């Protein structure tokens, strides 16, 4: 049965839909192969925050409108001096904030990729937890060709994902890779015929939704801790604090403070 998506929020450059525990966020600029401008990224940040804060959402799907492209990176028509310039005239590289949000949202994000997945678009799929691609998908970086580079997740996480040699090849040569090649190098998780892309992505999302949300949440933070430096460790530690807050032991500390008495932690075991 196809999913009946419900338009839950209104934006200009993106679509935000929800159904059956999933949120689907679609970059909706097919006329420029779903390139993002600063406003697109602001809307994506708002949408990811909405999905994070919605307790009924357990998995987020990020995709691009149409079958021609997932995303072709930054909109080169609005690239000014010092960044991409939106209506407010301020040059920004705000996709970096979006990348961090996709990493830190405590729910799996699945990139659903058809067509071009290039430049900043490829970095977006890279920072997602999982990627399901259609057989027409093409991956690659263009930075050194168009006078740009992403030396953060774009370089470091790519190297952790596909290995140092392959990551250097991808950036230095700016070649394009088919979905099958991307699968073989470990850049993505699965390749399916284009007409089955959403069905397969939803199947993966639903399998995750059957699992323990806290286990999935902590696992995401644990994987990030391995790759994301102190920010990753902060996320993992934040989960420990969250779980600790739910215990009687933590509540005793809070209650003692509020009741202006000495806390009594003696009843809590010191487990091995
Ligand atoms: C993506 C393509 C390979 C598609 O080729 P195709 O032949 O299918 O289609 P066209 O080339 O004819 O494109 C159709 C139409 O779309 C316009 N368009 C496509 N991509 C962009 C884009 N990125 N920006 C603006 N416009 C785009 C194209 O001009 C056509 O319009 P017409 O009006 O002319 O019909 C191919 O289009 C392509 O190679 N695109 C460019 C890919 C690219 O170089 N992207 C930018 C990389 S840099 C980047 O993304 C980036 C962004 C950041 O914000 C960063 C922040 C911090 C660090 C690094 C960053 C970063 O690297």
Q: How many domains does the chain have?
A: 2
Q: Are 201 and 236 contained in the same domain?
A: no
Is 245 annotated as belonging to a binding site? yes
Question: In terms of domains, do 189 and 240 share one?
Answer: no
Cβ neighbours, 10 Å, residue 209:
18
Judge if 239 and 200 occupy the same domain.
Answer: no
Residues 79 and 201 both lie in one domain: yes
Amino acid 195: pLDDT: 98
- Please tell me the chain's helix, strand, coil percentages from 3-state DSSP, rounded to the nearest 5: 45, 20, 30
Going by C-alpha positions, the residue among 50, 167, 188, 47 that lies closest to residue 117 is: 188
Q: Is residue 234 a part of any domain in this protein?
A: yes
Strand pairing category for 6-9 and 130-134: unpaired
pLDDT at res. 192: 98
Tally of CB atoms within 10 A around 168: 14
Residue 266 lies in a domain: no
Q: What percent of the chain has pLDDT over 90?
A: 99
CA-nearest residue for atom 22, ligand 1, is 75
Question: Residues 137, 49: one domain?
Answer: yes
Same domain, yes or no, for 75 and 181?
yes
Domain end residue (candidates: 209, 227, 242): 209
Sheet with 69-71: list strands edge to edge: 69-71, 116-118, 138-140, 177-178
Q: What is the CATH number of the domain that holds 250?
A: 1.10.12.10
Determine the structural domain holding residue 142 and report its residue range: 6-209
Q: Is 74 one of the annotated binding-site residues?
A: yes
Residue 267 lies in a domain: no
Over 90: is that where the pLDDT of 1 sits?
no
Please report the pLDDT score of residue 194 as a whole number: 98
**Are both 205 and 219 inside the same structural domain?**
no
209-225 average pLDDT score: 98
Which residue has the least CA distance to atom 3 on ligand 1? 116
What is the CA(146)–ligand 1 centre distance, in A? 9
Q: CB under 6 Å to ligand 1: residues?
A: 32-33, 35, 72-77, 84, 93, 95-96, 116, 118-120, 142-143, 146, 148, 150
Query: Which of 94, 114, 119 is the best mutation target for the ligand 1 pocket, counting ligand atoms within 8 Å of the beta carbon and taking the most?
Result: 119
Say whether both 114 and 180 belong to one domain. Answer: yes
| Distance in Å, CA 124 to ligand 1 centroid | 14
Looking at residues 150-172, what average pLDDT do you find? 98
Q: Is 264 inside any structural domain?
A: no
pTM (2 d.p.): 0.97
The confidence score (pLDDT) of residue 92 equals 96
Query: Rounded to whole angstroms, how far apart are CA atoms 74 and 130?
Result: 22
**75 and 105 share one domain:** yes
- Domain shared by 78 and 35, yes or no: yes
Quick check: is 141 in a domain? yes
The helix (run of H) or strand (run of E) holding residue 3 is none
Residue 121 and residue 204 share a domain? yes
Average pLDDT over residues 139-164: 98
Q: Rounded mean pLDDT of the chain?
A: 98
Mean pLDDT computed over 88-101 = 97
Cα 261 to middle of ligand 1, angstroms:
63
For residue 95, what is the domain's CATH number?
3.90.226.10
Residues 223 and 178 in one domain: no
Residue nearest to atom 26 of ligand 1 (CA): 32
Which is nearest to 162 in space by CA: 142, 134, 177, 184?
184
Domain boundary among 152, 187, 209: 209
């Amino acid at each position: 049965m196809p999913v009946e998506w419900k338009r839950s929020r209104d934006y200009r450059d993106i679509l935000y839909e929800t159904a059956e525990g999933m949120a689907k966020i679609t970059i909706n600029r097919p006329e420029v192969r779903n390139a993002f401008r600063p406003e697109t990224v602001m809307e994506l940040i708002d949408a990811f925050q909405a999905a994070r804060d919605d307790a009924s959402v357990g998995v987020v799907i990020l995709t691009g409108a149409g079958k021609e492209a997932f995303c072709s990176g930054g909109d080169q028509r609005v690239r000014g001096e010092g960044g991409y310039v939106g209506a407010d005239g301020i040059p920004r590289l705000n996709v970096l904030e979006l990348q961090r949000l996709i990493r830190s949202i405590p729910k799996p994000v699945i990139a659903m990729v058809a067509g071009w997945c290039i430049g900043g678009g490829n970095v977006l799929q890279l920072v997602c937890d999982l990627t399901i691609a259609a057989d027409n998908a093409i991956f690659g970086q263009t930075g050194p060709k168009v006078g740009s580079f992403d030396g953060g997740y774009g370089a470091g996480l790519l190297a952790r994902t596909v290995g140092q040699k392959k990551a250097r090849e991808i950036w230095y040569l700016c070649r394009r890779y088919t979905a099958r090649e991307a699968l073989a190098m470990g850049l993505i998780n699965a390749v399916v015929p284009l007409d089955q892309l959403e069905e397969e992505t939803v199947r993966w999302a639903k399998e995750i939704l059957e699992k323990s949300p806290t286990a999935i949440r902590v696992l995401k933070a644990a994987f990030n801790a391995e790759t994301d430096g102190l920010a990753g460790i902060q996320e993992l530690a934040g989960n420990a604090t969250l779980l600790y807050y739910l215990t009687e032991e933590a509540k005793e500390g809070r209650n003692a403070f509020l009741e202006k008495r000495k806390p009594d932690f003696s009843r809590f075991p010191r487990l091995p």
